[in-house]
Structure 1
Amino acid sequence: MLDQIHAAEAAPAVGLESGAQVTRASLQADLANAQDPNVRLIARVRQLEDWLSELLGDQAWKESGLGATADIEEFQRQIVQLQQTNVELTGQLEERQAELDAARGANRELTRALNEARALEQRRRTAACPLRPTMIPERNADGVPVCSSPAAGDSHLATLGQSLKSWTIGRSRISTAQIEPMRRDARHTAS
């Protein structure tokens, strides 16, 4: 075709009117216009060839057993989703653990303060009680502790010791509200 164009270009125009003569510039424009669709078609053919090649390659890969099947791909998506969920739950667990540690620390402090308050109250009660748990009481014939302190000469204290059958050494938890009625009874019995 290129040879025909060059031949036509060299030969004078036959049978054309003077206004419709074919010039070299017009022929080059026609040639350029004819080549543009060819370039576009060539590009489209290459695109389709690449697409077909990719599809055939994927199909051959799957049929060979080397490629991942649809089930495996679904499992892989589930694995990714479960890993994300695992990360979120781990973060929540760490937050809860931090809250639990803080609550345990507060609980330790409150327990310590409560134990100190109880110990202070126990020391106050022990100081008010004539029978101190640190003294080793004598026991009468019935096995009831009897006060043997220097104040033991007081008969009401001995009677009080006899009425405290549940009292044990080192474990006395007698409140002043329990002692006062016993003291009254001991005084009444002594008089």
Structure 2
Amino acid sequence: MNGKDYLCLNLEKYLNNKGTTSEDDMKNGNLSIGNSSLPEKNVLLNTEFSYKNIPFFISKKDYFDNIELEGQKLTFKPLPITAIHILGVSSNGDYFEPIHFVRNNEVVNSEIFFLTDFLSSEPAFRDEPAIQCKYLHTQSGINNYYKPTIWYDCIRFDQSIEVDGLQLEDNPFIHIFAISLEYTC
């Protein structure tokens, strides 16, 4: 086992927030307290894409396209992961939270992930800009002043850890659009 592979987590059943909108429904955005949103034509939805040679998949199902943290437990087949790659944003500030790595319903590790506010042009932490939008959708229309960003953060492990789930915290100001697990094979 010396190779690596990736698993793009299917987040469909955990989606609970509308962070991207079209020009026709921008009044339905819910990424911030002011109900702003990202223009969906600037975000690759329901198709696999790569950032830093890491595959990601942002699901849009029905109305929702991201996870607003509410203590969700994400489950998947057991994997010996070496890293977790996250695409997401904070809103109304820059935030960080622990993410708990679970095996057989027990937390085996916890680490902190960081996401800068989506309206910031520079990272507040170690995260990096992954998707840059050309403008912002607001309740009153398109705002060309802001160029919102979906940020990338990564947590690496010195040795692989066998996990079959992730436990999120409860923070309504953190939104996760995609998670990819890097694992040994």
Flag whether TM exceeds 0.5 (same fold): no
Which structure's relative contact order is higher, taking Cα pairs within 8 Å and 6+ residues apart?
2
Highest Rg: 1 or 2?
1
Higher helix share: 1
Higher strand share: 2
TM bracket, shorter-chain basis: under 0.3
